A = this chain, B = another copy of it.
Amino acid sequence: MGKQMTEMLKGTLEGIVLALLAVRPAYGYEITARLREQGFADIVEGTVYALLVRIERRGLVDVEKVPSEKGPPRKVYSLNTPGREYLEDFWGSWGFLADRLEQLRREADRAQEEGT
């Protein structure tokens, strides 16, 4: 979707994945697939795996290795209590930002109409 999206995802992709895990536990390959389905077409596996390593190292998720019938074992991630708190903070920041931007958009649109 272009460079704008790439930069915008910095910081939000983490929240997106945590939110996915809040719905239900999942493993990397699955998360990547779900993101692609939801329209994040060009998110690459490597990005997701690196992110998962990060949030695991920070103690936001619990990990369980589960054998798969069709390949190597899966690493299933599930949100734990610190992760849930962190996700709450994320929604707080996101809400603030979304509010500001919505307001700004209205102002910019109004200025646009007046200028026309």
Contact = CB atoms under 8 A, between A and B. Distances in A.
B97 A5 contact: yes
A11 B22 contact: no
5 contacts: A4-B90, A5-B97, A16-B104, A19-B107, A23-B107
Interface of A: 1-2, 4-12, 14-16, 19-20, 22-24, 38-40, 87, 89-91, 93-94, 96-98, 100-101, 104-105, 107-108, 111-112
Contact of A8 (B2, B12, B111, B112): B12
B8 A93 contact: yes
B1 A111 contact: no
Contacts of A23: 104, 107-108, 111
Given A16-B100, A96-B39, A4 B11 contact: yes
Q: Which 3 A-B residue pairs are closest in the complex by CB-CB distance?
A: A7-B11, A8-B11, A10-B10
A19 B89 contact: no
A97 to B, nearest CB: 6
A58 B61 CA distance: 41
Nearest to A91: B105
Contacts of A104: 16, 19-20, 23
